[in-house]
Amino acid sequence: MDIQSVKQRFGIIGNSPLLSRAIDIAMQVASTDLTVLITGESGTGKEVFPQIVHYLSPRKHGNYIAVNCGAIPEGTIDSELFGHEKGSFTGAHEARKGYFEVANGGTIFLDEIAELPLATQVRLLRVLEVGEFMKVGSSKVIKTDVRVVAASNVDIPEAIEKGKFRQDLYYRLNTVPVYIPPLHERKEDIHLLFRKFAADFAEKYRMPPLRLTEDAIRLLTEYRWPGNIRQLKNITEQISIIEQNKLITADTLRLYLPEITRPSLPVLYKQENEKHFSERDLLYKVLFDMKKDITELKKIVIDILDKNSDDVAMEKTKALLVKHISDENLNPMKPADEEMKIVHNVKETPDGDSFHPSEIIEESLSLQDKEKEMIRKALEKHNGKRKDAARELGISERTLYRKIKEYHIR
């Protein structure tokens, strides 16, 4: 059986070389009993590949059981996988076979393998190494001949470093790794998948299929699709049901892409986990940008002085500015209270006009002052609406409320 035949049999759509490579590896390893670890982002279709491994293997007439390890409570996972004896725990009114006993001679697919508790990982490692296990509440060893295919969208090496996954189990599972590429790595397949889903929903809901304009196709292809195939399918269904006009433009499609419709936030804002956001980072960035602007302003003043008279006071002013800029370049982290202040009297030009070579610069560069100013401006901009002001500043509404009380801002 070739790759194209496998795609047709298991409903796989796409011509990406990375996708074809993953299918080829699954086909090659199917005839063996090696353990397979499937990795890839959530929504990429990892659940199809264990079926390829099972149904192209000599075990195809045996049981195939798929288990979502993340959906089973920690207290019952051992009982689900390995079974239990009657009376082994509260509620165990009769003996029960586990998945490894039921799947004997077949294949068991352990999805979200990284969610297994450490104690269960020890039991699983024994099954993989010697093919035996014990039921919960029993001392009798049971033999099993099961082929294990595991999958995870979690970075398992990172979980190992955090002590959440056993390194020996990882090496035992990762005998043959199969990587499923996300949609943004197989852009050539995105429009193809959209057309397939659109045709399916048109048939399901008895309506004309969706069509995309050229600009909509470009937007569809360039979008990152963090939810991958699952997200693409859901959005296609939404558009099929909601939109009366079946010719979809980029403007229409943009309404259904969450990250595009979300208002732009400050660069340092980390939406996925706000507790890691540092207000100090944002304030330092603003402070350093202001210092850079001041330095540029001083350079402009020097240019103006070059074009005017050779007045001694002007020359002294120019020398001080040049020295100050040089000092800033050598020591950019100089504290704000050491900021140079230049003072000169008003001079008269040959035409009799007043000329100020420089003025007193008394601008505070305190972090607290800058923070108060930013908060005040954000509140003014959004007419006192704290929720909108907090979003503009890239902080939580609770943090903004605390800052308002702390700085007595009205």
CB 193 within 8 A of CB 231: no
The CATH number of whichever domain residue 397 belongs to comes to: 1.10.10
CB 256 within 8 A of CB 236: no
Q: How far, in whole angstroms, is CA 391 from its chain's centroid? A: 20
Query: With pLDDT > 90 as the criterion, what percentage of the chain qualifies?
Result: 60
CB 150 within 8 A of CB 112: no
**pLDDT higher than 70, residue 354:** no
Taking CA atoms, 389 is separated from 68, 381, 400, in Å, by 42, 8, 8
Shared domain for 373 and 304, answered yes or no, is no
**pLDDT higher than 80, residue 133:** yes
Confidence band for 356, pLDDT divided at 50, 70 and 90: very low
The last residue of one of the domains, among 165, 181, 197, is 181
**pLDDT higher than 80, residue 162:** yes
pLDDT in tens, 316-331: 665 666 666 555 555 5
Within-domain flag for 274: no
The CATH number of whichever domain residue 204 belongs to comes to: 1.10.8.60
Whole-number pLDDT of residue 260: 61
Shared domain for 53 and 109, answered yes or no, is yes
Comparing 46-55, 208-217, 308-317, 375-384, which segment has the lowest mean pLDDT? 308-317
**pLDDT higher than 60, residue 352:** no
Whole-number pLDDT of residue 183: 96
Q: How many CB atoms lie within 10 A of CB 235?
A: 20
Domain count, the chain: 4
Shared domain for 48 and 177, answered yes or no, is yes
Shared domain for 32 and 83, answered yes or no, is yes
Comparing 16-30, 85-99, 256-270, which segment has the lowest mean pLDDT? 256-270
Within-domain flag for 270: no
- The chain-wide mean pLDDT, for the chain, equals 83
Shared domain for 200 and 297, answered yes or no, is no
Domain coverage including residue 246: 184-261
Give the strand pairing for 347-348 and 354-355.
Answer: antiparallel
Shared domain for 140 and 43, answered yes or no, is yes
Within-domain flag for 299: yes
Q: Where in 23-161 does DSSP place strands (E)?
A: 36-39, 64-68, 107-111, 132-134, 141-143, 147-152
Shared domain for 334 and 391, answered yes or no, is no
Shared domain for 51 and 38, answered yes or no, is yes
Within-domain flag for 174: yes
Q: Which residue has the tokens 């007043």?
A: 354
Q: How far, in whole angstroms, is CA 276 from its chain's centroid? A: 14
Shared domain for 59 and 165, answered yes or no, is yes
Shared domain for 79 and 138, answered yes or no, is yes
Within-domain flag for 269: no
Within-domain flag for 296: yes
Shared domain for 124 and 177, answered yes or no, is yes
Taking CA atoms, 385 is separated from 240, 372, 378, 382, in Å, by 37, 16, 9, 5
105-117 mean pLDDT: 96
Shared domain for 351 and 373, answered yes or no, is no
Within-domain flag for 288: yes
Confidence band for 311, pLDDT divided at 50, 70 and 90: low
Q: Is the dihedral of CA 216, 217, 222, 226 positive or negative?
A: positive
Within-domain flag for 268: no
Rounded to an integer, what distance in angstroms lies between the CA atom of residue 322 and that of residue 330?
13
The CATH number of whichever domain residue 136 belongs to comes to: 3.40.50.300
